[in-house]
Structure 1
């Protein structure tokens, strides 16, 4: 998946340390046992993830520009900047402009090992750009356009300029079940669970 590649891009290596190394970072993450309880990673995996995170971000925090640089490496044929911005905001749970190690591993745990419902909750948060609890057609279109930009114009078969809008119209018609112009998390999850092809589309880009 995209996020497995994202993890490996941070040079994650297995450690034999008995606990997380905390002495050299300005932001000290929560204890190992607490992170084990909050995620589906083992102690050894958390140690490995932390070493890679610390190597790339000695401060213990990832700012948006660093995140964009790392993520864009996976899509050299396109422009991943806008999608990476939305993705960064989905990881930045406290909205302070940086991603802590805790934010990173909790999100990664959901995306790699979460249940279908957990993944869909995370995806809804990604699509809900202004975090008001609803997805509008405009928000979905912004995300969809950023995905097309990320995949590049030179994909095969060739993508038409109107394709993002057409996809949004189809998705929104299926999701907005009560036709009130917005999609709630209940509508989003129910629709995605019922429509297997739509579910696969969402998982591809999260």
Structure 2
């Protein structure tokens, strides 16, 4: 319940945790909150949320990939580093909880990051730019298929 029409980060985390009771969604919810809080005022308004949701559900491939890149670019410097991607991966694994099947190995997040960078970091400079990200995602059938899953939901 948000009578003011805005949600602060703590409330966002509480709401998000209800979707993932088996794990700890705190860190991932923090990253997600920052992606929805486009004006960086520490609150997600209904308008902010609807704009983000609209992109995720109805946006073009380019808009969806830009939104995802913004989520992964934690410090908003225009690059995704291995450290940022590892933080995101760990947050996702924490959120999914220990009850995943098959049981995940301790180094699974790091392995995912290495695979991500092998695929995305075209010039091998240790960071992924928005152009590298978009180009690589558009060439990946699995990513493109997963983006189309939600197109007709609303």
Normalising by structure 2, we get a TM-score of: 0.92
Aligned-residue CA RMSD in angstroms? 1.6
C-alpha contact (below 8 Å) 1:78/1:153 kept by paired residues: yes
1:112 is the counterpart of 2:68: no
C-alpha contact (below 8 Å) 1:67/1:84 kept by paired residues: yes
Q: Hey, what does 1:101 align to over in structure 2? A: 46
1:179 is the counterpart of 2:124: yes
1:135 to 80, 101, 107: 80
Residue 94 of structure 1 aligns to a residue whose secondary structure is coil
Runs of 4+ in 1 over 2 A off after TM superposition: 197-204
Which of the two has higher C-alpha Rg? 1
Asked which structure has the greater RCO (Cα within 8 Å, sep 6+), the reply is: 2
In structure 1, how many angstroms separate the alpha carbons of the residues matched to 2:146 and 2:73?
Answer: 17
Matched residues, number: 149
Using a 3 Å threshold, how does the CA distance of structure 1 residues 159 and 203 change in structure 2: closer, same or farther?
farther
Normalising by structure 1, we get a TM-score of: 0.69
In structure 1, how many angstroms separate the alpha carbons of the residues matched to 2:145 and 2:84?
Answer: 20
Q: Hey, what does 2:26 align to over in structure 1? A: 81
Q: Deviations over 1:19-76 (max 9, x none)?
A: xxxxxxxxxxxxxxxxxxxxxxxxxxxxxxxxxxxxx211121100110111111111
1:190 is the counterpart of 2:122: no
Structure 1 gaps, min length 5: 1-55
Q: How does 1:27-176 map to 2 (within 5 A)?
A: 56-176=1-121
Structure 2 gaps, min length 5: 150-154
Using a 3 Å threshold, how does the CA distance of structure 1 residues 170 and 198 change in structure 2: closer, same or farther?
farther
